[in-house]
Amino acid sequence: MTEYISTMNGYLICESSLHLDREDLRIKLHIKEKSPHLDELEHLVAEAERIGRPKAYYRLGFIEEIREDRVFIENIYFKSKVLSVNLNGIQRVFAYLATCGRELDEWSSRFDDLLMSFWADAVKEAALGAVYLAMGSHLQDMYRPGNTSSMNPGSLEDWPLTEQEQLFALLGEGAERTGVRLTESYLMIPNKSVSGLLFPTESDFHSCQLCPRELCPNRRAPYDPGLAAQKYDLKAAGTDSLEN
């Protein structure tokens, strides 16, 4: 069961009854259909479903000013040329944070076996995906933004990981209610968490389009050096991916 809790500034989404796609996990983990490992995977997933409480939070934010390389959103400014270009002509954005949850993070830390630890990591990622989808569906139902794209601090050199501090300031108490915290190096704990700004757009945008990093497991779109130079006035190889 998914719970949707209205807060002063946004919405908290809690998956209190987690259901994970076993077949999808089997394929991602390269386990054969009749493998003896299937029983182990089933036990692991069932345990995670009992324990897991992934959460997400999002809030509406109004853009106050856009300059060449920075955007002001409700008295908080974000420094990024790419973000400025993407938000040009837009009046509102959605700050969000989604996580597999502390419960699964603590659960996964008990595995010493490398294979089981790898599987548990994949289960955490699946739990994060489930609550992220629930958040997106709720956002669409509430605000009807239409087609959207998002940007994440640390996904590009142009918008570094240090910008997490501003994003968490915009999220406010909502970030605390998800149980996610930032380290001194701006990484998120639990590690299977994602944060960013989601915005309406007429054309799909992925930070991957501006990132030349090869063999990235999280790549969702091919690198486009022409787009980097023409639309964003970035050097063709001047970005680097730091995906969470």
The pLDDT assigned to 41 comes to: 96
Contacts of 235 (CB under 8 A, 6+ apart): 228, 229
> CB–CB of 122/28 below 8 Å?
yes
Residues whose CB is less than 8 angstroms from the CB of residue 67 and which lie 6 or more positions away in sequence, other chains included: 84
pLDDT attached to residue 232: 75
Within a domain: residue 29?
yes
Write out the residue range of the structural domain in which residue 43 sits. 2-230
Any domain includes 226: yes
CB contact at 8 A, 12 and 57: yes
Q: Model's pTM, two decimal places? A: 0.86
Return the structure tokens found at 194: 């994602």
Token look-up 């997106």 returns 136
Length of the chain: 244
Record the tokens describing residue 127, joined without a space.
Answer: 């739990």
pLDDT per residue as tens, the chain (244 positions): 899 999 989 999 999 899 999 999 999 999 999 999 999 999 999 999 999 999 999 999 999 999 999 999 999 999 999 999 999 999 999 999 999 999 999 999 999 999 999 999 999 999 999 999 999 999 999 999 999 999 999 988 899 999 999 999 999 999 999 999 999 999 999 999 999 999 998 767 766 777 677 666 666 677 677 766 666 776 643 333 323 3
The secondary structure of 193-221 as a DSSP string is: EEEEEEEE-SS---GGGG---SS-TT--S
Task: Give the up-direction half-sphere exposure of residue 216: CA atoms within 13 A in the CB hemisphere.
Answer: 20
Domain-located, residue 243: no
Burial tier of 6 (Cβ tally within 10 Å: 0-12, 13-18, 19+): exposed
**pLDDT in the model for residue 132:** 97
Nearest to 234 by CA among 103, 31, 80, 66: 80
CATH number of the CATH domain containing 79: 3.40.109.40
Q: Are 52 and 103 in contact (CB under 8 A)?
A: yes
The answer to whether residue 235 sits within a structural domain is no
Please report the pLDDT score of residue 216 as a whole number.
67
Give a yes or no: residue 244 inside a domain.
no
In a domain, 196, yes or no: yes
Name the H helices within the chain.
22-28, 37-51, 81-86, 102-108, 114-143, 164-171, 173-178, 225-230
Could you tell me which residues come within 8 angstroms of residue 78 by beta carbon, excluding any fewer than 6 positions away?
Answer: 70, 71, 159, 163, 166, 167, 197
Domain count, the chain: 1
Residue 173 lies in a domain: yes
Other residues' Cβ atoms within 10 Å of the Cβ of residue 130: 21
Residue 236 lies in a domain: no
Cα 30 to Cα 27: distance, rounded to the nearest angstrom: 5
